[in-house]
Structure 1
Amino acid sequence: MESAVSSISYKDAGVDIDAGDALVERIKPLAKRTMRPEVLTGIGGFGALVEISKKFKEPVLVSGTDGVGTKLKLAFELNRHDTVGIDLVAMSVNDILVQGAEPLFFLDYFATGKLSLDTAEAVIAGIATGCEQAGCALIGGETAEMPGMYIDGEYDLAGFAVGVVEKSKVIGGQTIEAGDVVLGLASSGAHSNGYSLIRKLIDVSGMGLKTDFHGHPFADAVMEPTRIYVKPILALMEKLPVKGMAHITGGGVTGNLPRCLPEGSAARVDPTSWTRPPLFDWLQQAGNVTPDEMLRTFNCGIGMCVVVAATDAAAAMTHLQTSGETVWQIGEIVARPDGAEQVIYL
């Protein structure tokens, strides 16, 4: 019996194979800029091959994965897609850095309802830029076109980083003791955390994204990409012992600094010891947000904490400042009083 339905293609169902192939060709030069000598095969195969450098005697692989979160909703509204890829890389490479790992490679997952070559290329160009900043190779990923799964013009992102560290040099916070110093490295803004609250405050305040904010559009402040700390901190680790680190993401200093502290210890932190970017002042005022809520939701100007011995603090600060970081001594390690939190604010 002859079918009355004309031939239907995958493209008729909403998936454009040719567009996907075209995107791969567009991003190959972007990925090539990020290559490392350990990469044997990269984009184009079913899997990428990466060998472990022979400089490691007992290599330990460290992996991390993350996304960009609802910051993407602002990217859609602004049609600004060139920096969220940096955010994506930063969230994973900064995470694995805290254990002393040098990022080796990165893979991304880009999912959308209908593939826009220009948008996808802008996003992946940002991913490549983030990989260059981190010194890791973009070796592959997945672009998924799924009609009906996403609102037109929207997409989602996930990223996966793998790094390596010498087993004897894994940083776990075990040597942290009372008297050690907590250094805080400046964030570039809100990074990629707390954006559900940020968007809520934008809505309730009526703040326009194009409104002048300290000489620039407000959109620039909220879309500033996450700072990547990899190269300065890896260089610091070559100079002196780093006892512990905390990437300040969702949960702020309150929720993340304890993750590197041993039992029985606490960090006494002075929130007035660093300069808080104007964005956080605006957020607090716009929603009458309490100081405690600010510190457990946003990074409030500190994107990474580094714990070193008091005798190494001055040298560590000088080295990081020479590497281009803004850094403050924000606290010290103390014995944890009974019943006290692991972060004690002055």
Structure 2
Amino acid sequence: MNAYKAAGVDVEAGYEAVRLMKQHVSKTFIPGVLSNIGGFGGLFEIDKNSYSNPVLVSGTDGVGTKLKIAFIMDKHDTVGQDCVAMCVNDIACSGAKPLFFLDYLAVGKNKPEKVAEIVKGVADGCILAGCALIGGETAEMPGFYPEGEYDLAGFSVGIVDKDKIIDGSRAKKGDALIGLASSGIHSNGYSLVRKLFNLNGNDDDKKLNSYVESLGCTVGEELLKPTRIYVKVLHELIERFSINAVSHITGGGFIENIPRMLPENLRARVNKGTWEVLPIFKMLQSLGNIAERDMFNTFNMGIGMVLAVDSCQADQVIQYLKEKDESAFIIGEVIEEDNGVDIC
């Protein structure tokens, strides 16, 4: 037996994983990709004719403990989309278009078919974001991760013309706040979620496979719904309307993320009842008897992205999104006070 394989690392399995994932990776290639999977670096050529003063924007993130749900459910083809979404949605808040993505997958034992499933999810996310998966790393780390478990993270690089950067400086008193609907919990707060559902290794399968009428699916199916990728719809809005500030509602919920898009002298006022809080959040709040402010400081509550737009265009934005079958709501306004957010 090969000495490295005897130590727990199967290089042949690594080769097979690369072979299996190539079919998914190649589907993400867009103009600008110069390299193919298997090289030492991913190459991407910028179209200089499309930008007068290009600025690169980068973002990095992981899936977090949502992966624990994937392990229990033995379903691995969607968490890759979560990984991509957490990066490219952040980039899009600056008005940037994601160009490429790289992933890092660390496994306890390399099972090529499972690795290919995970990478398929990453590739699916890249296709939804319109960017290329130009490289990555799969590390087999026996003794560090238990067999059957893994961690997944990544980063993306995007581009925007300097004079088109969205940094909140154009936001003003009276701007309307528009919320784009989330698909569910997305990829934040799962340590609390797992505690609330008492996922402690005892009968976890039974708990996750239980059907809940209000959810319209099993608990596990709800918890594994992939994070929505807003890149394409956001860029359509940027081309047509005055989008003055953008916030991705991730860890920290409304309380931490909405103020980040506004200057120090502006504050967000969010009106409860202007959108339907998804059933999963009502369920979580009930399970833990969680204070409302804590819910808004942890979860997205059914709103995955918030835009500040000229008030005179708010109804047009909503109508445009409706025609695109996008669920969106006018959820509040920008007021002239110290930076922060009021939920009332």
What range describes the TM-score normalised by the shorter chain of this pair? over 0.9
1:48-63 correspondence to structure 2 within 5 Å: 48-53=42-47, 54-63=49-58
Partner of 1:3: none
Partner of 1:109: 104
Gaps of 5+ in 1: 1-6
- Decide which of 125, 147, 164 is 1:130's aligned counterpart: 125
Residues 68-124 of structure 1: per-residue CA shift (max 9 Å, x gap): 000001110111111100100000000000000101000000001210112111110
Larger radius of gyration: 1
Partner of 1:87: 82
Residues 279-332 of structure 1: per-residue CA shift (max 9 Å, x gap): 001000000001000000000100000110101111111222223320000010
Partner of 1:44: 38
Partner of 1:247: 248
Report the Cα distance in structure 1 between the residues aligned to 2:254 and 2:219, rounded to whole angstroms: 25
Report the Cα distance in structure 2 between the residues aligned to 1:324 and 1:253, rounded to whole angstroms: 24
Partner of 1:322: 323
TM-score, normalised to structure 2, is: 0.95
TM-score, normalised to structure 1, is: 0.95
Identity fraction in percent: 49
Report the Cα distance in structure 2 between the residues aligned to 1:26 and 1:181, rounded to whole angstroms: 47
Following superposition, the deviation at residue 42 of structure 1 comes to: 2.7
Following superposition, the deviation at residue 144 of structure 1 comes to: 0.3
Q: 2:17, 2:111 within 8 Å by CA — same for their partners in 1?
A: no
Residues 190-236 of structure 1: per-residue CA shift (max 9 Å, x gap): 00000000000000899811111123211111110000001111111
SS at match of 2:5: coil
Partner of 2:340: 342
Are positions 1:146 and 2:141 aligned together?
Answer: yes
Report the Cα distance in structure 2 between the residues aligned to 1:175 and 1:47, rounded to whole angstroms: 38
Report the Cα distance in structure 2 between the residues aligned to 1:90 and 1:258, rounded to whole angstroms: 21
Report the Cα distance in structure 2 between the residues aligned to 1:204 and 1:188, rounded to whole angstroms: 22
Aligned length: 337
Q: 2:255, 2:296 within 8 Å by CA — same for their partners in 1?
A: yes
Report the Cα distance in structure 1 between the residues aligned to 2:25 and 2:116, rounded to whole angstroms: 11
Report the Cα distance in structure 1 between the residues aligned to 2:193 and 2:61, rounded to whole angstroms: 19
Partner of 1:66: 61
Partner of 1:265: 266
- Seen in structure 2, the aligned counterparts of structure 1 residues 271 and 42 have a Cα distance that, compared at 3 Å, is farther
Gaps of 5+ in 2: none
Partner of 2:3: 9
Partner of 1:305: 306
Report the Cα distance in structure 1 between the residues aligned to 2:44 and 2:304, rounded to whole angstroms: 30
Report the Cα distance in structure 1 between the residues aligned to 2:294 and 2:170, rounded to whole angstroms: 30
